[in-house]
């Protein structure tokens, strides 16, 4: 019986040309395996305008209007988060190709992509499952960016004073944060913005969320870890009467007085990892976790 023709959807970074330098190698490898290839329209246009040839057989799509067996994300962690937003509840595994510096989520190195694709086409791969959280404002999904794989942050405006965030968990009043903001993070996002504000590293699959304040006014306010089946309700006060909400880095204005709710989404995002790679090895290699630099 002939092997199934695999379908790949490709997302990429459209702001830095160097992060797309491996695209011809990827396309060549996929063609070698007889794969069907489609590409996000803005990335396809960026590559064409940058002088890349050989894109005639590559179909294009807009937003999340695609169907595939795998998604390839070319760039860094920000590109992977954009790709995950495009995947949504499609249950398509994402292959994160790191063309940037850190690449904590996009953990397939540029030099490893051909081998990784060979393994994927041969069925030799593993996946990690990532919880997603969703935001509603006033009882409806928040704007066009209500789902996050990393974190949802409530933040003061650049020119504003600190904000006041009244917080309930499962309808039980917890605390009022007076701070520059509050980060609600998944285990996946615990090594990002939350970590830089003193939050803990949370291993994948632990079924918890963390609330991490940003520059709190009181020193006795600390991050708190809660079950991921909890419903978080927030009410924000601001002297400027508005504030920012960032959903995986996609920010939008919000007026005070709107009741916000954050809860676990009904789907997860899968990412492909190379066989033998572990979360602990990624922490050690990417974040120098536990490294002793003393002579």
User: Environment class of residue 45 by beta-carbon count within 10 Å: exposed (0-12), middle (13-18) or buried (19+)?
Assistant: middle
Q: In degrees, to the nearest 5, what angle opens at C-alpha 288 toward C-alphas 75 and 277?
A: 60
Q: What is the distance between the alpha carbons of residues 191 and 138, in angstroms, rounded to a whole number?
A: 30
Cβ 187 vs Cβ 206: under 8 Å:
yes
Going by DSSP bridges, is the β-strand pair 172-179/181-185 parallel, antiparallel, or unpaired? unpaired
Q: What is the distance between the alpha carbons of residues 62 and 138, in angstroms, rounded to a whole number?
A: 29
Q: Which of 77, 128, 151, 248 is catalytic?
A: 77
Catalytic, 77? Answer yes
Cβ 262 vs Cβ 226: under 8 Å:
no
Instruction: Give the count of beta carbons closer than 10 Å to the beta carbon of residue 2.
Output: 5
Q: What is the distance between the alpha carbons of residues 268 and 244, in angstroms, rounded to a whole number?
A: 26
Q: Catalytic positions, please? A: 77
């Amino acid at each position: 019986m002939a092997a199934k023709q695999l379908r790949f959807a490709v997302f990429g970074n459209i702001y830095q040309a160097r992060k797309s330098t491996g695209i011809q190698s990827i396309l060549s490898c996929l063609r070698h395996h007889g794969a069907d290839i489609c590409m996000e329209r803005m990335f396809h246009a960026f590559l064409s305008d940058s002088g890349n040839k050989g894109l005639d057989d590559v179909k294009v799509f807009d937003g999340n209007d695609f169907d595939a067996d795998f998604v390839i994300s070319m760039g860094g962690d920000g590109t992977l988060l954009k790709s995950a937003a495009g995947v949504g509840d499609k249950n398509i595994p994402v292959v994160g190709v790191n063309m940037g510096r850190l690449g904590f989520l996009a953990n397939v190195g540029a030099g490893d992509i051909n081998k990784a694709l060979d393994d994927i086409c041969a069925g030799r791969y593993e996946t990690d499952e990532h919880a997603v959280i969703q935001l509603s404002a006033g009882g409806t999904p928040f704007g066009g960016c209500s789902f996050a794989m990393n974190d949802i942050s409530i933040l003061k405006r650049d020119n504003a004073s600190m904000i006041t965030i009244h917080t309930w968990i499962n309808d039980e009043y917890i605390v009022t944060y007076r701070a520059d903001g509050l980060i609600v993070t998944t285990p996946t996002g615990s090594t990002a913005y939350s970590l830089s504000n003193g939050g803990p590293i949370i291993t994948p699959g632990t079924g918890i969320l963390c609330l991490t304040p940003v520059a709190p006014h009181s020193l006795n306010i600390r991050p708190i870890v809660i079950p991921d089946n909890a419903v978080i309700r927030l009410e924000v006060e601001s002297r400027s009467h508005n504030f920012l909400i960032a959903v995986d880095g996609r920010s939008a204005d919000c007026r005070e007085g709107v009741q916000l709710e954050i809860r676990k989404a009904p789907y997860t995002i899968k990412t492909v990892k190379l066989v033998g790679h572990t979360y602990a090895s990624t922490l050690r290699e990417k974040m120098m976790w536990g490294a002793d630099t003393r002579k």
